[in-house]
Amino acid sequence: METSKRPGGRSARVRDAVRQATLAELAERGYQGLTVESVAERSGVHKTTVYRRWGGVEGLISDALELARDEPWPIPDTGSVEGDLRGVVQLVRSGFADPELGPVSTAFVAAAVQDAAAARALHEFFAARHEQSAEVVRRGIARGELPDVVDPNEVIRVAVAPVYYRLFVAHEPVTERDADRAADAALAAARAGVL
């Protein structure tokens, strides 16, 4: 996949237009309904340019994830590791429940199951989000709420994993209580030195 050689200019505008069109198409049609042709039409970029630069649907998804990877995420700061960790898990839950963001996030996961490049891009996206979110655990360690041997990224992974399990394996809804319980379980494991 070719990437932009310069930070501004036409190439950046094209990439942004295609990315916005990809996200809009995913929100409306999901992964199965995403086509290069619909992204090209919505973005105003000729489909041969889209095919040449992104290769296909998987390239569009990978690029959208790559651009989203470094965007800041609103990390909670409630003053306690319990409140912060619950807040992180609630952000994940509410993101999938959101009528606009949910279908896009679900499409990213569906693409990753079916395509190696999309899977790599999703892995890198999650790694960046986990690193950002791990700040709540690092603050908890600094305040003495958790032992300093805790792996902050692992606490985040363990806290959010039940949300993904319920949504994508068991196909169950995730309530606020479910999300809080997942955060509390990860916190208990961290306090016990398991993580």
What would the pLDDT profile of 70-97 be if each residue is shown by its tens digit? 777 889 999 999 999 999 999 999 999 9
Number of Cβ within 10 Å of residue 97's Cβ equals 15
User: Is the overall model pTM greater than 0.95, yes or no?
Assistant: no
pLDDT score of 52 more than 50: yes
pLDDT of residue 8: 52
Mean pLDDT of 135-140: 97
Torsion angle of C-alpha atoms 43, 46, 47, 51, degrees rounded to 10: -100
- Is the model's pLDDT at 140 over the cut of 70? yes
The stretch 59-68 carries a mean pLDDT of: 85
Mean pLDDT of 123-151: 94
Residue 40, class by beta-carbon neighbours within 10 Å (0-12 exposed, 13-18 middle, 19+ buried)?
buried
Which range is least confidently modeled, 97-101, 152-156, 189-193? 97-101
Q: What is the pLDDT of residue 38?
A: 94
The residues, ordered by sequence, that sit 6+ positions from 103 with a Cβ below 8 Å of its Cβ are 26, 27, 28, 30
Mean pLDDT rounded to a whole number for the chain: 89
Asked if the model's pLDDT at residue 1 lies above 70, the reply is no
Q: So what's the pLDDT on residue 118?
A: 85
Do you know the residue count of the chain? 195
